[in-house]
A and B are shown apart, each in its own frame.
Chain A
Amino acid sequence: MLHTLRVLLLGLPLVLAAPAFAQKVVTVGWGSYAMDAPQFLVASEKGYFKEAGIEPKFIPFQSGREGFEALIGGQLDVNVMAEFPAVVGTMRKQPFSVLAVLSRYAANRLITTPASGASDLAGLSGKTIGLPLGTNVQFMVDEDLKRAGVKAQIVNLTPPDLPPALLRGDVDAIATFPNAFGGARRILGERYRELPVSPYATTFVVAASREFLAKDAAVATKLLGALTRADAFMSSDPAGAQDIVAKTAGKTLTLEAIRAGWGHYHYDVALDGGLLDLMAREGAWIRERGIVRDADPSAALFRSSVADAPLKGVAPAKVTLP
């Protein structure tokens, strides 16, 4: 009896600790990316992470940019974000690596109201555009204005401040992130108008800290394996994937909104030359602005911030980098 009790007491901690040994916890920086990176939600819900021996621990951030700061500060293993912080991080010699592109969003837009009197980019000449400073959105708008030969005043506003500023008439147009379009449409109501912009596609990536890759390269490969499985599921059963996103995103995103927006995204866990080309264009824009001068924004520079081995390990055909 005493022996049995002793065995039980000694064995209990081992039994309790067993799942912790089996599952490798990976800290993931996560913003409002339910639509931009649904592979994470699908892989969690379908159990792909668990089957890969991974337990993702989602750490919420207001933006991918903030998560990126935590990543290079050593607080995260991986982070989901748009490509722009990766461009800045590479030019500022930060220790991280892009593991894969998750999606591309090709329905970017400028939002305005009838009060601005603008029906195209030319109509914004001499007017004020509100946008979040130092982001891919500013790059997109600057490129578009330059192409159209239009000069407008840019005002830095955080995404939540943009629709009220447009509604008040403080600015004539706004540009924001894809996950904020729905809110802007709701706030502006019948006054909501869209202006066509260039085919710039916001590219959502997953990046890892160098420390994580050095210590847990195999875990990074398993993580990408789970994400590519989720990608495959999303292709074969988009309605099922949309249901999962609606279920996990909570009240912030309705199933109708997910269905309506799904087609604007191209979901594909991959690494291709298009990513490097875009990063080089953004890098040239940053250098032109004079904020970061001591880096040559070539595709070769940005290639150094991409780690293709983990993705090659699970889906070599998805890696088509030069």
Chain B
Amino acid sequence: MTVSSRDASVPEANKAARSSLPALAAPAWLGPGLRAGLAILGFAGLWTLVTVSGLVNRELFPSPAMVWAAAVELGEEGALGSDLAASLGRAAIGFALGSAAGVMVGLLTARTRLFSAALTPLLTLLRPIPAIALVPLAIVWFGVGEGSKYFVIAYTVFLAVWLNTHHGAAGIAGTYIRASRSLGAGTRREFFEVVLPAAAPHIVAGLRMGAALAFLSLVAAELSGASSGIGYRIQESRQFFRTDRLFVGLIELGALGALLDVLFVAVSRRVIHWEH
């Protein structure tokens, strides 16, 4: 007994809307990968044009070729790989901690009045506090080691996942609950076969957002108290006016985030197949 809280006709409506897009749409024979590649190439071409136009200071706005050379330089130094490993490790642990806590607390605040009354106002107050504002506090509490970085990332992820989970689990149609109960489902069965599947799309959306936020807060976490990582390298590059190396860090973050998003969509299609 699994249910979906969404209208099944929505994907069809989206498809119809997409097919009615004006003539500027890409030719059908271009696959999504090729389209993305062409878009990136087009952007790089425009970027190159701006840098060779003489309108900008190339030391502050480097060309794609300069950024590529800086990436090669970082690769030769061994910094590219070690930074990536350090940052991915931090992001993964922070994400795991924050998302696990977010899902658990979200389900509790959505389905239990006591938890909702006790935690929702506090979490609502915490939500507007940006991760970067917590860095000094995290360092004082957890020191300059990995603990403070996990805390900052987990905090950001937790709030996004909590909010989505809470909304998903709190907004389940009463008819589903009543139907499951009238069919004799116990609390445990109701939770695993009605509440969780109905909230799953929201939980996955929260996890997807949390994954993106993990990279966002990673930079804040690595600005102080780090000796490696993408955020650290961005900071170092800034100090030495190596904007080309700074761009490498930014592109790394963007590429990682995009890759993770694609992975999330692919996995979510399998896990919450009833939504697709």
Please tell me if B2 contacts chain A, counting CB pairs below 8 Å.
Answer: no
A133-B236, A157-B144 in contact; A94/B139 too (CB < 8 A)? no
CA distance A153 to B236 in the complex (A): 16
Query: Of the 9-residue stretches A162-170, A256-264, A298-306, which lies at the interface with chain B?
Result: A162-170
Q: Contacts A154-B227, A155-B144, A160-B136 known; A92 to B236 CB distance under 8 Å?
A: no
Residues of chain B contacted by A89 (CB below 8 angstroms): 241
B144 contacts A291, CB within 8 Å?
A: no
Cα A73 to Cα B57 with chains together (Å): 9
Provide the residues of chain A in CB contact with B140, threshold 8 Å: 164, 168
**Given known A94-B59, A155-B226, contact A133–B239 (CB-CB < 8 A):** yes
Q: How far is the CB of A89 from chain B (nearest CB, A)?
A: 7
Residue A296 is within 8 A (CB to CB) of chain B in the complex: no
A240 to B139, alpha carbons, bound, how many Å? 41
Q: Which of A132-150 contact B (CB under 8 A)?
A: 133-135
**A175 smallest CB distance to B (angstroms):** 15
| Count, chain A residues at interface, CB 8 A | 31
- Neighbouring B residues of A158 by C-beta, 8 Å: 223-224
A153 with B239, Cβ < 8 A, contacts A130-B144, A164-B139, A165-B144 known: no
Q: How far is the CA of A134 from the CA of B143 in the complex (A)?
A: 22
Closest to B58 in A: A93
The yes or no answer to A286 lying at the interface (CB within 8 A) is yes
Q: Which residues of B contact A133 (CB under 8 A)?
A: 232, 235-236, 239
Q: Is B11 an interface residue (CB 8 A)?
A: no
Contact A156 B59 (CB under 8 A): no
Give the chain A neighbours of B57 by CB distance below 8 A: 72, 94-95
Chain B contact residues (Cβ within 8 angstroms of A): what range? Answer: 20 to 34
* Residue B64 CB within 8 A of the other chain: no
A72 CA to B60 CA, complexed, in Å? 10
B145 within 8 A of A: yes
A65 to B240, CA, bound (A): 10
- In the complex, which residues of chain B have a beta carbon less than 8 angstroms from the beta carbon of A154? 227
With a cutoff of 8 Å between Cβ atoms, the chain A residues found around residue B7 in the complex are none
B12: interface (CB < 8 Å)? no
A291 vs B246: C-alpha distance when bound (angstroms): 12
Q: Please state if B226 and A88 are interface contacts (CB–CB under 8 Å).
A: no
Q: Judging by beta carbons under 8 Å apart, are A291 and B236 in contact?
A: yes
CB distance from A320 to the nearest CB of B (A): 29
Inside 8 A of A315's CB, which chain B residues have their CB?
A: none
Question: A291 to B239, alpha carbons, bound, how many Å?
Answer: 10
B242 at interface by CB-CB < 8 Å: yes
CA distance in complex: A89, B77 (Å): 23
Cβ–Cβ contact B241 & A168, under 8 A: no
User: Which one, B60, B225, B236, B239, contacts A161 given CB within 8 A?
Assistant: B225
Contact call A286/B226, Cβ cutoff below 8 A: no
| A–B pairs, 28, beta carbons within 8 Å | A65-B239, A72-B60, A88-B239, A91-B241, A92-B240, A133-B235, A134-B236, A134-B239, A135-B239, A153-B227, A154-B227, A155-B225, A155-B226, A156-B227, A156-B232, A156-B235, A157-B144, A160-B136, A161-B139, A165-B139, A165-B143, A168-B143, A170-B144, A170-B145, A171-B144, A291-B240, A292-B240, A292-B241
Give A contacts to B, CB under 8 Å: 65, 72-73, 88-89, 91-95, 130, 133-135, 153-158, 160-161, 164-165, 168, 170-171, 286, 290-292
